[in-house]
Homo-oligomer: A and B are copies of this chain.
Amino acid sequence: MPSFSQKTFTLALITILFPLLLPAQNQSAQHPLDALKTQEYWTVYDVLRDSGKIDKDTVTHSVLLHEPAKDKVLAWKSGDPTFREAEVILLRKGTTIEALVDITGHKLESWKERKDVQAPVVVSEFRELDEAMKKDPRVIEALKKRGITDLNPITCFADPFGYFALPELEGHRIMIANCANTHGAYFSWSREIEGLQIRVDATEKKVLQVIDEGIIPVSQAPVNYQDLETAPRTGTTPIGITQPLGPSFQIKGSEVSWQNWRFRFRLDPRVGAIVNLAGIQAGDRFRSVLYEGSMSELYVPYMDPALNWANRVFIDAGEFYATGHVLKPLRPEIDCPSNSVYFDSLAWEEHGFPVIHSQVACLFESYSGDPAWRHFEEHQLSGSGARVLVLRTAAVIGNYDYVLDWRFERDGNLRVAVGATGIIETKAVKAKNASEGGGHGMAGAPDEFGHFVAENTVGVNHDHFFSYRLDVDRLVKRQLNNPLRKSIWVVEPSIAKTEKDAMMDIHLEKPAMWHFINPNVKGPLGYPTGYELMPGATAASLLDPDDGPQKVGAFSTHQLWVTPYKQDERFASGVYVTQSKGDDGLAGWTKANRPIENTDIVAWYTLGFHHVTRAEDWPVMPVMWHDFVLRPFDFFPQSPVITLPPAP
């Protein structure tokens, strides 16, 4: 990318260079919640190899830390032995195997062969299926009909699908593929061959069926943004964040201390950054806010009934994490400012070996120039500038990039933000544009299910739903309703007693505060200490609850769910999402309507948005941010920022 760079100026601003990488993978685990370390992956590998249960057809699809039960973690003290386990998913000739490995004890704890679930997909499956498809005479013929005889630039990509579609597929590992012609482009996005679908058996590596609905030319929309001439706009002067004395956070192992915040985090290959034991240090006393918080699943259904589109209903984390790591590298200057510290992470490859993924998280202090508080009174001007600690990762699942932030604010707010960017999925159509196609979204028009973003290229309507798992330690939920009473509103505290009480939706005419309190700890004014979950702009799924995809993505039905803590309830759409029937996950668990009052509970927040694409989203969409906040509510005795000096 030729670029008229401002780098010369930008570098000049930085007076102290921060350590760019903090590789801690080789050390042994210091804490029960640390990410799996290099030698631990090798121990898992050795235990499995030596078990006699592995053969050459056994492929490692997942190796994740099996998190200890919460009571064990809370009882653990520095210096205690760290009891470490890994949960492993293997696939052997179509059979999914769950293995639990005791790393500390170097032994296989359990081995379970399952016919009822599908392991997540791995990269070799994509590669092998691509080859198999391009060798199939029916595929070769269909491509030839389109004038394509050079198959080198053709990629046929088999998507797993996250819901159980057709009865005849039961028990088989089925994927639905389409091909793309990457000739002239750096990748296959927007270059897909519409009207041609290939159904494959991923176990047998064979083509089951080729559906050809006729020729639609591949989009030739100019997608190579990498080649665009870049230049700053006229008059642009360099800008930067400076912190000449270095960052003011401390990192010890996986623990971060900053201002009065303290938390741990690890980078999990399936759900990304997991924040643990986050809380406020008040003198000698540590006050817990969140035992654990992480994104737990991502659900992206597309809204086009056409061939190759009706099946695009992604349960992104659960389906695709095994292809490497849900997190991808961050680029300094673009993704994180110059005062950032970066972190590497480990995942596995298909033998189970550890693989380093570099620079997949950054930590930095941000100062955008905003006040933390202020008041003007006659001649008095008081206040303080705001600074924020940001833990940032980017989950990249194929075309989309999700910038995922945990933002620790000095007033006790913990803001979770999702910035969606990346490449939208487009469909080639015969009509050049909306005028030619009689378009504007009318029935039968080429943009009925989307919006032209380039010539012959329609960005297809879709949703994005993120389920955040928020283990608000030892708290119960209290919801504060504000119903109309005559003409004032009053707060009617009500305590959610069961899971169904706690399924909450946002209605402007019936506003509710979602308040998590510790009934056993009272603040100086007699109220239980607590935190509030404050939603930002969000969306609910419009899909029919009986639809296959919606059964798996059912967490998108409500904005808030609350469940009693269970060690193994970690993923909003369940452990195995590929070809799932939706029995595992939030909707399934809460059918029992378990009691949640005076229990250790977990809150699940759904952050979502409907995405109607626009010309501005092409070829890469500008970041669109959504967020929610965990906000102290009677947690502190008074404003925690009132004694900060003016400077941020």
CA–CA, A541 and B152, complex, Å: 62
A623-642 vs B, CB cutoff 8 Å, 1 = contact: the mask equals: 10100000011111111111
Nearest residue, chain B, Cβ from A480: B612
Q: Given the interface contacts A434-B525, A435-B526, A488-B304, does A639 sit within 8 Å of B617 by beta carbon?
A: yes
* Contact of A468 with B by CB under 8 A: no
CA–CA, A538 and B537, complex, Å: 8
Would B243 and A241 count as touching, CB distance under 8 A? no
- Looking at the complex, which one of B247, B381, B488, B532 makes contact with A543 (CB distance below 8 Å)? B488
Would A411 and B337 count as touching, CB distance under 8 A? no
Would A461 and B489 count as touching, CB distance under 8 A? yes
Would A526 and B239 count as touching, CB distance under 8 A? no
Nearest residue, chain B, Cβ from A513: B612
- Looking at the complex, which one of B421, B448, B524, B615 makes contact with A638 (CB distance below 8 Å)? B615
* Contact of A36 with B by CB under 8 A: no
Q: Given the interface contacts A305-B488, A367-B368, A623-B370, does A646 sit within 8 Å of B334 by beta carbon?
A: yes
Which stretch of A27-35, A113-121, A384-392 is in the interface?
A: A384-392
Complex interface: chain B residues within 8 A of A638 (CB):
454, 615-616, 618-619
**Closest CB of chain B to A345's CB: distance in Å?**
14
Would A238 and B244 count as touching, CB distance under 8 A? yes
* Contact of A567 with B by CB under 8 A: no
Which stretch of A1-9, A78-86, A131-139, A583-591 is in the interface?
A: A1-9
A115-156 vs B, CB cutoff 8 Å, 1 = contact: the mask equals: 000000000000000000000000000000000000000000
Would A243 and B238 count as touching, CB distance under 8 A? yes
**Closest CB of chain B to A3's CB: distance in Å?**
5
Would B375 and A403 count as touching, CB distance under 8 A? no
* Contact of A380 with B by CB under 8 A: yes
Q: Interface size of A by Cβ–Cβ distance < 8 Å?
A: 179
**Closest CB of chain B to A190's CB: distance in Å?**
12
Q: Given the interface contacts A331-B374, A489-B542, A620-B373, does A1 sit within 8 Å of B382 by beta carbon?
A: yes
* Contact of A171 with B by CB under 8 A: no
Complex interface: chain B residues within 8 A of A214 (CB):
none
Would A619 and B639 count as touching, CB distance under 8 A? yes
* Contact of A644 with B by CB under 8 A: yes
CA–CA, A648 and B233, complex, Å: 11
Complex interface: chain B residues within 8 A of A422 (CB):
374-375
A293-322 vs B, CB cutoff 8 Å, 1 = contact: the mask equals: 000000001111100000000000000000
Would B646 and A622 count as touching, CB distance under 8 A? no
Would A537 and B539 count as touching, CB distance under 8 A? no
* Contact of A482 with B by CB under 8 A: yes
- Looking at the complex, which one of B4, B385, B511, B647 makes contact with A645 (CB distance below 8 Å)? B4
Complex interface: chain B residues within 8 A of A508 (CB):
505-507, 538-540, 559
* Contact of A555 with B by CB under 8 A: no
- Looking at the complex, which one of B186, B233, B390 makes contact with A380 (CB distance below 8 Å)? B186
- Looking at the complex, which one of B235, B491, B636 makes contact with A441 (CB distance below 8 Å)? B491
Complex interface: chain B residues within 8 A of A483 (CB):
542
Would B536 and A537 count as touching, CB distance under 8 A? yes
Complex interface: chain B residues within 8 A of A614 (CB):
532, 632-634
Complex interface: chain B residues within 8 A of A473 (CB):
none
CA–CA, A337 and B422, complex, Å: 31
Complex interface: chain B residues within 8 A of A491 (CB):
441, 451, 461, 612
Would B386 and A623 count as touching, CB distance under 8 A? yes
**Closest CB of chain B to A164's CB: distance in Å?**
15
Q: Given the interface contacts A373-B623, A616-B639, A639-B617, does A333 sit within 8 Å of B646 by beta carbon?
A: yes
Q: Given the interface contacts A243-B239, A333-B646, A374-B331, does A490 sit within 8 Å of B441 by beta carbon?
A: yes
CA–CA, A364 and B371, complex, Å: 14
Complex interface: chain B residues within 8 A of A535 (CB):
537
Would A367 and B239 count as touching, CB distance under 8 A? yes
* Contact of A452 with B by CB under 8 A: yes
Would B544 and A403 count as touching, CB distance under 8 A? no
Tell me the A334-348 residues at the B interface (CB within 8 Å): 334-337, 339-340
Tell me the A1-24 residues at the B interface (CB within 8 Å): 1, 3-7, 9-10, 12-13
CA–CA, A237 and B619, complex, Å: 40
Would B636 and A616 count as touching, CB distance under 8 A? yes
Would B5 and A645 count as touching, CB distance under 8 A? yes
A417-439 vs B, CB cutoff 8 Å, 1 = contact: the mask equals: 00101110000000001111101
Which stretch of A50-58, A62-70, A223-231 is in the interface?
A: A223-231
- Looking at the complex, which one of B302, B339, B622, B640 makes contact with A372 (CB distance below 8 Å)? B622
* Contact of A184 with B by CB under 8 A: no
* Contact of A377 with B by CB under 8 A: yes
Would A615 and B525 count as touching, CB distance under 8 A? yes
Complex interface: chain B residues within 8 A of A364 (CB):
369
CA–CA, A358 and B331, complex, Å: 42
10 contacts between A and B (CB under 8 A): A13-B242, A239-B367, A240-B648, A241-B369, A331-B374, A372-B622, A508-B538, A509-B542, A615-B636, A622-B641
- 4 interchain residue pairs of minimum CB distance: A435-B526, A337-B369, A434-B526, A411-B622
Other A-B pairs, 15, CB within 8 Å; known A302-B488, A372-B623, A489-B543: A10-B647, A186-B377, A186-B380, A240-B367, A371-B419, A373-B621, A375-B396, A376-B401, A439-B526, A441-B493, A448-B490, A455-B525, A508-B559, A511-B610, A534-B537
